[in-house]
A and B are shown apart, each in its own frame.
Chain A
């Protein structure tokens, strides 16, 4: 049961207990984490589950895929640690993961 932390744009912190095998996006939706929309349902087709991976975790989370790059290309704020939460499968190794959220998803 990896625990993950979402830090909203206004600083509000949400910790949720996720399940191994689900995506970070699904964990957010299951717990109604404000600021993760997930319009396409996790198919890397809309970029509305954009997160900034805490620098301490970028190595374990890994880099963006080519399709993620295409979708995030139009994000209002793109950083090196930008990922789509639907493309991050949760494992025990990600227990404690911290991500921050952008000002809005679109």
Chain B
């Protein structure tokens, strides 16, 4: 069966489902990658959609699926809260004992103060400083890849490069850097939708080990002069130096997942997208300067975080629906990024779009991804260095997808470099 036929069949099946019961967060749509078809229907028929998830801790929630409605929610933090104690930024409400304070899941003014404590690490001047380091690491890694044998792009390239970057940002012992990868995976795993995940108690125990490790780093740095690494910045920042252990743990989870998982999955997703669109790959090889617009298009296409959740602070009208105070609201970036009211030919991967950065993948408003330009820089350098050395990258089989409706990513992708 061709891909086109399979997509048409899946679309027909999804369009035949009763609209009332359509639950876009159902993990199945993410495992078989039919979620874009669910959203295509919701944007058309019920753009602000209420549904129920049987997963414990999820329950009723709203789905906002059109670009401009997502923008309206994302930029209205007074009406739509990110507060961790209300459940934070994912649809799953953990038990109260497992809820972690972190600045992505806070409202102003505390959010602003804590974000400012670390934001400078990705300021333009620091990015310029890191450029050479990222390039030399990327070049060395690509040169070391095996030839004429199948290997996992996720492990050898995407994870390795993003984990090295994260170790640098934290000034984390380099030989232990894969612990960061592991803790990132632990932080986002959920046994309720992923049978391979750790159970809730084991998960919190692992995060406790992370806290222990990072507490040693904190203690080393709190009495040393301030430096440009995330642990030192947290230990010395006025808004963060008195954090309790749970809040330190929460902010570590935020920085580890935010600084790692998202870019990792865009590194894999970009290769897949170019493999699936050979005419675009040819365009890129003919004109490597297109890397600048390729990178934001990869980030739109992949949408490595499928949504962010908010909690309504008061009753709000949106697209003719009344969202009640206390309701959960998912802003489906994955859907808004395919909204043809704003993005031309959104279902096509086009590496030379006129305005490639208008996508929603970084969010908009005060919670907009703080590391967006660092992510773009890492992807840009990766693709420049790939184009410099590999005329062909063969994709040897389908990817394995992460079992999550929140993290849209890959756990493996078999590839081969001939020659």
Cβ-defined contact, A39 with B358, below 8 A: yes
The closest CB in chain B to the CB of A39 belongs to B357
CB distance from A70 to the nearest CB of B (A): 6
CB distance from B163 to the nearest CB of A (A): 22
Cβ-defined contact, A106 with B366, below 8 A: no
B-contacting residues, A53-106, CB 8 Å: 67, 70-71, 73-74, 76, 102-106
User: CA of A45 to CA of B125 in the docked complex: distance in angstroms?
Assistant: 23
CB distance from B94 to the nearest CB of A (A): 28
Cβ-defined contact, B364 with A45, below 8 A: yes
A22 adjacent to chain B (CB < 8 Å): no
CB distance from A66 to the nearest CB of B (A): 11
B54 adjacent to chain A (CB < 8 Å): no
Q: Mark A39-52, 1 if CB is under 8 A from B, else 0.
A: 11101111110000
B229 adjacent to chain A (CB < 8 Å): no
User: CA of A14 to CA of B127 in the docked complex: distance in angstroms?
Assistant: 25
Q: Mark A20-45, 1 if CB is under 8 A from B, else 0.
A: 00000000010000000111110111
Cβ-defined contact, A40 with B364, below 8 A: yes
Candidates A67, A70, A76; contact of B120 at CB < 8 Å: A76
CB distance from A28 to the nearest CB of B (A): 13
Given A45-B364, A106-B372, are A76 and B358 neighbors across the interface (CB < 8 Å)?
no
Given A45-B75, A73-B116, A74-B370, are A104 and B358 neighbors across the interface (CB < 8 Å)?
no
User: CA of A74 to CA of B370 in the docked complex: distance in angstroms?
Assistant: 9
Cβ-defined contact, A45 with B71, below 8 A: yes
Cβ-defined contact, B71 with A43, below 8 A: yes
Given A76-B123, A106-B124, are A70 and B358 neighbors across the interface (CB < 8 Å)?
no
CB distance from B418 to the nearest CB of A (A): 38
B112 adjacent to chain A (CB < 8 Å): yes
The closest CB in chain A to the CB of B112 belongs to A73
Candidates A67, A70, A106; contact of B122 at CB < 8 Å: A106
Q: Which residues of A contact B124 (CB under 8 A)?
A: 76, 102-104, 106
CB distance from B125 to the nearest CB of A (A): 6
Grouping DSSP codes into helix (H, G, I), strand (E, B) and loop, the A interface class, with mixed when no group exceeds half, is: loop
The tally of residues in A whose CB lies under 8 Å from a CB in B reads: 23
B115 adjacent to chain A (CB < 8 Å): yes
Name 14 A/B residue pairs within 8 A (Cβ), A-sorted: A41-B355, A45-B74, A45-B365, A45-B368, A46-B364, A48-B357, A73-B116, A74-B112, A74-B115, A74-B119, A103-B125, A104-B123, A104-B124, A104-B373
CB distance from B231 to the nearest CB of A (A): 20
Q: Which residues of A contact B115 (CB under 8 A)?
A: 74
Cβ-defined contact, A74 with B358, below 8 A: no
User: CA of A105 to CA of B71 in the docked complex: distance in angstroms?
Assistant: 20
Cβ-defined contact, B125 with A43, below 8 A: no
A-contacting residues, B345-392, CB 8 Å: 355, 357-358, 362, 364-366, 368, 370, 372-373
The closest CB in chain B to the CB of A102 belongs to B124
Q: Which residues of B contact A103 (CB under 8 A)?
A: 124-125, 128
Q: Which residues of B contact A67 (CB under 8 A)?
A: 75
User: CA of A70 to CA of B71 in the docked complex: distance in angstroms?
Assistant: 16
Given A40-B358, A45-B75, are A70 and B366 neighbors across the interface (CB < 8 Å)?
yes
User: CA of A106 to CA of B115 in the docked complex: distance in angstroms?
Assistant: 14
Which of B123, B127, B355 counts the most chain A CB atoms within 10 A?
A: B123
User: CA of A38 to CA of B364 in the docked complex: distance in angstroms?
Assistant: 12
The closest CB in chain A to the CB of B364 belongs to A45
The closest CB in chain A to the CB of B371 belongs to A106
User: CA of A106 to CA of B74 in the docked complex: distance in angstroms?
Assistant: 17
CB distance from A106 to the nearest CB of B (A): 4
User: CA of A29 to CA of B354 in the docked complex: distance in angstroms?
Assistant: 10
